[in-house]
């Protein structure tokens, strides 16, 4: 009965949710040729249509934006058609689905680029860790090329076009990806942004690209169908800032003024959970720290259990909780929580790449 609060309806802008158990965006690297969704992807998302809301995996806005093997895009007619099959299936099962649109920036490799050019970033600073080439082979990251100021409106326009394409594909809205050390977060944080133009230096300048993207996307499809995902105090790929509280307080206040549909925060304890099950013990509580600065629905994510999720919503720190690994392993997660049924355990070895194993073969309740 303690979980009942998770099953109250919730409105996110134009999207009505029957409950607050949300599926987090999950990179799975199982798209088809040319970044086009396949029937296997359709089955995967349809299996999880009982979520209050589904966020798709990161979906790239352009060829330049790709950073990982076998990830989907939303910039070609074929990709749009592939995604339409996904949204039709989710809606046929009574679900709601939002596309997370993304640009990986420096978290990429020249092997993904059309002519073998370097990945791009705010400044020529490589991330930590390793990239993966299209054949999934790990390789050291390259030092990215710093974007010219004149190129940034083109990136804003690509996000806008991606949002329009997502709506053509039947999505209920879009989420602007500002986490996981990707391009928009690279511009936000001074550990990766050493620019001296209008997009570097002080907090307002570093936040300019993200806010330009949000304004362009909102102008194209309506702010009531737009959300933003952020990871204050995150460390993915060596991302860092000298004043994260000041930076994200400013950004979140700006987003609140824009009346977007929701804010989605990754908790710092699990900002690298896609790479490891190890949590950052003692990390700040982002939902508690930044809740008062956003006048709208807030979604929190990272390493929640059904019990801690209910406690967080009950305490008013978040309005809904996004589950990642639990939705991988439990396509019927909302029903399992309601019935207090046992949960399947996820198999990390099958998270990235492959076929049906660890993707569509987890059992549902009888």
- Residues 26-56: tens digit of each pLDDT: 999 999 999 999 999 999 999 999 999 999 9
> Over 50: is that where the pLDDT of 231 sits?
yes
The pTM of this model reads: 0.96
pLDDT of residue 272: 47
CA distances from 361 to 37, 62, 272 (A): 18, 31, 25
Residue with tokens 């001296």: 196
Task: Please state, as a whole number, how many other Cβ atoms lie within 10 Å of the Cβ of residue 85.
Answer: 19
Place of tokens 């933003």: 228
Backbone CA torsion sign across 82, 84, 90, 92 = negative
Q: What is the DSSP letter of 73?
A: B
Q: Are 14 and 173 in contact (CB under 8 A)?
A: yes
Answer yes or no: is pLDDT of 279 > 90: no
pLDDT of 27 = 97
Q: Which of 221, 313, 228, 233 is nearest to 21 (CA)?
A: 313
């Amino acid at each position: 009965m303690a979980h009942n609060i998770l099953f109250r309806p919730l409105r996110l802008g134009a999207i009505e949710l029957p409950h607050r158990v949300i599926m987090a965006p999950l990179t799975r690297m199982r798209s088809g040729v040319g970044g086009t969704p396949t029937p296997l992807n359709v089955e995967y998302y349809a299996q999880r249509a009982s979520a209050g809301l589904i966020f798709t995996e990161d979906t790239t806005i352009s060829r330049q934006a790709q950073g990982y093997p076998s990830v989907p895009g939303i910039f070609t007619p074929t990709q749009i058609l592939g995604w339409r099959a996904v949204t039709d299936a989710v809606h046929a099962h009574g679900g709601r689905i939002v596309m997370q649109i993304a640009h990986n920036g420096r978290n990429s490799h020249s092997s993904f680029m059309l002519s073998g050019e370097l990945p791009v970033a705010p400044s020529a600073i490589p991330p930590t860790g390793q990239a993966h080439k299209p054949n999934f082979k790990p390789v050291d990251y390259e030092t990215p090329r710093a974007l010219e100021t004149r190129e940034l409106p083109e990136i804003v326009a690509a996000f806008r076009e991606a949002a329009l394409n997502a709506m053509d594909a039947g999505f209920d809205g879009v989420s602007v990806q500002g986490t996981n050390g990707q391009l928009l977060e690279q511009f936000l944080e001074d550990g990766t942004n050493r620019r001296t133009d209008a997009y570097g230096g002080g907090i307002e300048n570093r936040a300019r690209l993200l806010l330009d993207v949000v304004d362009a996307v909102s102008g194209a499809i309506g702010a009531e169908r737009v959300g933003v995902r952020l990871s204050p105090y995150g460390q993915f790929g060596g991302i860092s800032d000298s004043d994260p509280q000041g930076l994200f307080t400013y950004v979140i206040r700006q987003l609140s003024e824009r009346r977007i549909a929701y804010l989605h925060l990754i908790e710092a304890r699990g900002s690298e959970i896609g790479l490891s099950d190890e949590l950052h013990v003692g990390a700040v509580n982002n939902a508690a720290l930044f809740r008062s600065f956003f006048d709208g629905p807030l979604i929190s994510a990272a390493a929640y259990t059904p019990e801690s999720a209910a406690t967080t919503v009950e305490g008013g720190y978040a309005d809904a909780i996004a589950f990642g690994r639990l939705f991988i392993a439990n396509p019927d997660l909302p029903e399992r929580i309601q019935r207090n049924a046992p949960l399947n355990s996820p198999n990390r070895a099958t998270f990235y790449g492959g076929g049906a194993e660890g993707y569509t073969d987890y059992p549902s309740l009888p």
